[in-house]
Amino acid sequence: MMTPHIEAASDAFAKTVLMPGDPLRAKFIAEHYLDNVKQVNQVRNMLAYTGTYQGVPVSVMGSGMGMPSIGIYSWELFTVYEVEHIIRIGSCGAYSPELNLYDVLLADRVFSETTFGTVQNGDPNPFRSPSPELNQRLIQSAHALSLPLKTGTVHSCDVFYRENSQDFQRILHTHQALAVEMEAFALFHNAQVLGKHAACLLTVSDSLVTAEAASPEARQTAFTRMMDIALHSIAN
Ligand code: HPA
């Protein structure tokens, strides 16, 4: 056992890890996109796999939901497994009427009212940024594949069920946050503290503006576009 949460040997991960929230998504990606796949973690069912994509080594691991969970896994990947790049691939809820269901959104900044940064190292700044290099690669990759990609501020929220469902309007207007998810801030914080690289690609799975939610089939199509952008950025 290398860490309290990951049993993989110290050389079991590639330098780049894709992190969906759901460990079964990690399994799906490994089985459908990667070659030469080996499962490298099963502790707490937080499945992780390493394989190759177009000959380039890549790992995929679930992050779980929320900042405490991705905070643990990303820290251990960066520090114990010498991972250099983590690309979160997740879903988000739209705050902005300009985002449509199934759009793919690249976070170029995250806002959060979480205590994660303050507790981790005393940094109270409510904003974190992704790696400009990784974002640039992802934008170029979307361009090369002729896939539409939006960019903007994302709200990383600690609470999924809020008492006041209209609260999002305030965050949209005060911080220009186009959408909400629950992990990017902690991932970007850890990458910044450790001198590593992180990015976050999201598909819009529901809208707080219209209360629409994606059907499972359409979610899968949008997910495929996001995966193509992420994998192309690693292999090219
Ligand atoms: N809230 C938080 N995280 C999410 C949402 C949401 O509405 N949709 C997808 N991830």
Mean pLDDT of the residues in the chain: 97
Cα 48 to averaged position of ligand 1 atoms, centre (Å): 23
Instruction: State the Cα–Cα distance between residues 39 and 48, nearest whole angstrom.
Output: 6
Query: Which pairing describes strands 150-156 and 104-111: parallel, antiparallel, or unpaired?
Result: parallel
Question: Computed from CA positions of residues 11, 191, 91, 108, in that sequence, does the dihedral angle turn out positive or negative?
Answer: negative
pLDDT of residue 221: 82
Cα 3 to averaged position of ligand 1 atoms, centre (Å): 29
Element (H, E) at 208: none
Mention every residue, 6+ apart, whose C-beta is less than 8 A from residue 137. 233
Cα 181 to averaged position of ligand 1 atoms, centre (Å): 5
Question: What is the ipTM for the molecules in this complex?
Answer: 0.96
For 176, how many CA atoms within 13 A lie in the half-sphere containing its CB?
A: 7
pLDDT of residue 217: 82
- Give me the torsion for CA of 11, 17, 23, 25, rounded to 10°: -130
Question: pLDDT digits over 26-73, tens only?
Answer: 999 999 999 999 999 999 999 999 999 999 999 999 999 999 999 999
Instruction: State the Cα–Cα distance between residues 229 and 215, nearest whole angstrom.
Output: 22
67, 103, 164, 206, best to mutate for ligand 1 pocket (most atoms within 8 Å of CB): 206
pLDDT of residue 118: 98
Cα 54 to averaged position of ligand 1 atoms, centre (Å): 32
- Ligand 1, pocket residues at CB < 6 Å: 91-93, 157, 160, 180-182, 205-206
CB atoms within 10 A of CB 107: 31
pLDDT of residue 34: 98
Take atom 9 of ligand 1 and give the residue whose Cα is closest.
92
Instruction: For the chain, list residues with pLDDT below 70.
Output: none
What one-letter code names the amino acid at 122?
Answer: G
Q: Which atom of ligand 1 is the closest one to the Cα of 206? A: 8
Element (H, E) at 42: none
Which tokens hold the place of 16? 């780049």
Does residue 35 have an active-site annotation?
no
Predicted model pTM: 0.97
What one-letter code names the amino acid at 126?
Answer: P
